[in-house]
Structure 1
């Protein structure tokens, strides 16, 4: 028996039509040097149609050709988020923070035809553009001298010139909901970056989950500061979920330092935000140093890496802002789970849930695999590699690369942890970062969280380094707060009451700052490299 239901495709054009009419008064605020630049959802919808006409009529985009963006978070990037997939093409967000050779590899691997570039990023793009083999057109968004781009031999256009005079409506084509809508590449910590291609269906379903009460709880009453880059895992799906729920957006553009973010929060009266932990550590330090407040900001979802509990407590106790832990990855669109405590839990019990990575929603199935591939129980104690599957989770990489990451229809995440019977995930480490000492595992994440709870420590990362007796031992790399002091002996003594003695690091180094990856995570690979090269001043206790 078949159902009697209509088979209307789930797609991004539906979101665009809905948001630009039903929620036409919701707004997109873009931060500028002179304050906020604001447009309504209705105005964004009209300009989205104009961009689609320009891409089709002037730049020759047809079918599923790829249109790349090399941009900050702003209104024009949002217009591309909707125009490109809605016209049937594929949006490809280029990560502006990757190494030049990786950016070139990605653009060629995806076969981009057009690149939209922020005027402020022209010097960065000019370094790599000559190597973009399939790109024919470059569109400059905003102010900026395009002269450095001309040597690459591409056709150069101005964004506003292309849109001028174009119709403000577009006859969005019909397509299959499983067709490609957008693509992102992994950050390439090992080997070349891998392409993840999202469908219209996956983005639509993911947007529904992002907006739900168990996740980000978005409504038209919200002002959402989207700090997580739009080139990183589709900005966690926030732009699409915002238009679905009517939530207004606050886009920080290139103004990502703590003082500018605090100013944007207060000017736009942002009440919700999303960013990686390092951003919030900087904001907290700025607030503590200046005495400024962020009274409207009630909630922030934090992902990308584990959030130190001390950071969560500091924001809640001193600024009344609740940090909500989440987990995901490029391959999961990226929402995997969000840590909303079960209804009715309070105090320490609620806190025990909040410091986990979160509970899996109905759309994400999860299991744990032991070292031999056998499935271990979700009992909150058994440890294994996390594997997931669901309608917004990748089944393969673009062009079928790295097939061993997928097993029997499940994505192997490379994260190691436990799952409770009621579906809460606690990650103990990345598979490649867990420290294997004398046949036992040491969680680098646990050590980092304890260290960053010390009042003298601003940042800390822990990596495994070779040891002749134990195979690996932890190296603690610490950044002290300005004006604070602490010795390795003091920090080791501090840890001695928190973890088993055999896990205490013997090797310590102090850094001016912890190296970061292109998406703001601690770059442990670089710390390990610097240690192996003898570039770090290490104290051995």
Structure 2
């Protein structure tokens, strides 16, 4: 017996039609450093239609890749709407990657058009001659200047869409067709392309709106600090369109002071960013207090947020910070750490400090060192593997069978799963410190060091040891105006950790190197150590 329900495809085009009409009064607000620019979803939809007509005229007639090289702003939001809805593929280029990786990605994806913010032209111009498939560049928010390359036509965004029809016959597409793509950050080897379908984006957007996701609703204004080039801004643009939540887009104003100003001026109810953003904002608020009480929730992902930062936001500002886990390959939402109802305050914090509960649509399992699934008992440690309707089944033009295990995505994250579905990650597989046959979690050790009042940041790497195989080295950034030495920090840890986990090797640095998405870049620290460029104190 088969079901008799209608088989209506899930498409971005239908989401655009719905969001820009039913929720036409919602707004995309772009911060400018002065008076914010405001565009209703209805107005944004009309401009997206004009952009779609322009792209058709430039030769975007099928699934050509239209790339973006942009901040979070109104024009980027318009591209998010127009490109997938017209049947083409939106490709968000990560502006923070090294130049050679950006060129590699644009060529690998065979980008045909690139939309570039004028403020990013100094960064983009040297890359353009290396982008062999690009035929058109559209410059938004300013004048193209003397941007040029052989075989490339340069357009000004506003001139290109001016005078065109504000209605577009968005086509019907197969829901499994490509809608958008992002590339991984390439921490090992070349970046890999993840292609999202219309169906996967639609289902993922629904999960973002659900109460066990980000709980997004029409009443919300979301400060989307997480870049629109980083895993589709964690799904916030499409989810906001789905339920009519407004979005506050910070453009290039990502420093702690302007972010604090946005919170005061616009009163957003939700915000999302990586931990380093919240650490910087907390310092700014402590130095220059502001009223951020409009926030009912802050979402943090990309890496674990130090518990002291989470507690400080809640205790000093009344803002709960929620951990979330995900990756480019999972669209990215995998889990959110909403504590179960009715638990004690102590239990609530235990759940809050986990990576959260996997939703019904994301199946997870822990695979031990023997390659066999381990029980979900909250104690058995292994690599997390996941599968689900918004989890990638492969990479674009790049076979990597080692990343998949009988239909499951190998995440590279090490941790446990509890019987009630909560994920606790202890490390990345490549960052675990294997010492004397035991594992030391670099993340847990970092959090313990950063709990010291004189420490701003701490990153832990494994270094070779002739007796124990590996031992931890802690790279520490001391807070401005504070003093602390390695012996004092080791004594501080001695009250919290077993003796065999206490680090003997310490280094004091000006700043922890970061990846393009704000995570600690431990491969840089490892290379500095290998090259003898870290001053190490041995206790």
TM-score bucket (shorter structure): over 0.9
Contact 1:397/1:403, CA 8 A, preserved across alignment: no
Contact 2:264/2:290, CA 8 A, preserved across alignment: no
In structure 1, stretches of 5+ residues that fail to align are none
The aligned counterpart of 2:448 is 450
- 2:354 counterpart of 1:356: yes
* Structure 1 CA distance for aligned equivalents of residues 143 and 281 of structure 2: 29
The 3-state SS of whatever aligns with 1:127 is: coil
Identify the match of residue 236 of structure 1 among 231, 234, 237: 234
* Structure 2 CA distance for aligned equivalents of residues 151 and 128 of structure 1: 10
The aligned counterpart of 2:54 is 54
Identify the match of residue 166 of structure 1 among 164, 167, 191: 164
* Structure 2 CA distance for aligned equivalents of residues 474 and 366 of structure 1: 30
TM-score (norm 1): 0.99
CA displacement at 1:537 relative to structure 2: 1.1
13-22 vs 375-384, greater mean Cα deviation: 13-22
378-387 vs 338-347, greater mean Cα deviation: 338-347
CA displacement at 1:221 relative to structure 2: 0.8
The aligned counterpart of 1:378 is 376
- 2:70 counterpart of 1:67: no
* Structure 1 CA distance for aligned equivalents of residues 454 and 316 of structure 2: 18
Aligned residues: 539
* Structure 1 CA distance for aligned equivalents of residues 399 and 228 of structure 2: 24
* Structure 2 CA distance for aligned equivalents of residues 255 and 152 of structure 1: 33
The aligned counterpart of 2:139 is 140
* Structure 1 CA distance for aligned equivalents of residues 152 and 510 of structure 2: 41
* Structure 1 CA distance for aligned equivalents of residues 122 and 401 of structure 2: 36
CA displacement at 1:371 relative to structure 2: 1.5
* Structure 2 CA distance for aligned equivalents of residues 392 and 197 of structure 1: 10
Identify the match of residue 480 of structure 1 among 478, 481, 502: 478
* Structure 2 CA distance for aligned equivalents of residues 21 and 485 of structure 1: 58
The aligned counterpart of 2:487 is 489
The 3-state SS of whatever aligns with 2:302 is: coil
Identify the match of residue 520 of structure 1 among 498, 506, 518: 518
* Structure 2 CA distance for aligned equivalents of residues 342 and 269 of structure 1: 28
* Structure 1 CA distance for aligned equivalents of residues 145 and 439 of structure 2: 53
The aligned counterpart of 1:94 is 93
The aligned counterpart of 1:466 is 464
Contact 1:496/1:504, CA 8 A, preserved across alignment: yes
The aligned counterpart of 2:175 is 177
Contact 1:25/1:42, CA 8 A, preserved across alignment: yes
Identify the match of residue 260 of structure 1 among 258, 261, 264: 258
* Structure 2 CA distance for aligned equivalents of residues 218 and 88 of structure 1: 27
* Structure 2 CA distance for aligned equivalents of residues 160 and 152 of structure 1: 23
The aligned counterpart of 2:15 is 15
Identify the match of residue 248 of structure 1 among 246, 261, 267: 246
* Structure 2 CA distance for aligned equivalents of residues 188 and 35 of structure 1: 38
Contact 2:454/2:478, CA 8 A, preserved across alignment: yes
The aligned counterpart of 1:317 is 315
The 3-state SS of whatever aligns with 1:387 is: strand
CA displacement at 1:152 relative to structure 2: 4.7
Contact 2:116/2:138, CA 8 A, preserved across alignment: yes
Contact 1:122/1:144, CA 8 A, preserved across alignment: no
The 3-state SS of whatever aligns with 2:62 is: coil
The aligned counterpart of 2:79 is 80
In structure 2, stretches of 5+ residues that fail to align are none
| Segments ≥4 residues shifted beyond 6 Å | none
The 3-state SS of whatever aligns with 1:156 is: strand
Matches within 5 A, 1:269-308: 269-308=267-306
187-196 vs 264-273, greater mean Cα deviation: 264-273
The 3-state SS of whatever aligns with 1:399 is: coil
Matches within 5 A, 1:406-421: 406-421=404-419
299-308 vs 344-353, greater mean Cα deviation: 344-353
Contact 2:33/2:258, CA 8 A, preserved across alignment: no
CA displacement at 1:401 relative to structure 2: 2.2
Contact 1:29/1:268, CA 8 A, preserved across alignment: no
The 3-state SS of whatever aligns with 2:103 is: helix
Contact 2:143/2:156, CA 8 A, preserved across alignment: no
- 2:29 counterpart of 1:25: no
CA displacement at 1:153 relative to structure 2: 4.4
* Structure 1 CA distance for aligned equivalents of residues 279 and 145 of structure 2: 36
* Structure 2 CA distance for aligned equivalents of residues 222 and 112 of structure 1: 35
The aligned counterpart of 2:113 is 114
Contact 1:360/1:366, CA 8 A, preserved across alignment: yes
The aligned counterpart of 1:189 is 187
* Structure 2 CA distance for aligned equivalents of residues 144 and 96 of structure 1: 19
* Structure 2 CA distance for aligned equivalents of residues 330 and 144 of structure 1: 33
CA displacement at 1:163 relative to structure 2: 0.8
CA displacement at 1:18 relative to structure 2: 1.1
- Indicate how the Cα distance of structure 1 residues 169 and 145 shifts in structure 2: closer, same or farther if over 3 A, else same: closer
CA displacement at 1:2 relative to structure 2: 2.0
The aligned counterpart of 2:213 is 215
Contact 2:184/2:194, CA 8 A, preserved across alignment: yes
Contact 2:13/2:85, CA 8 A, preserved across alignment: yes
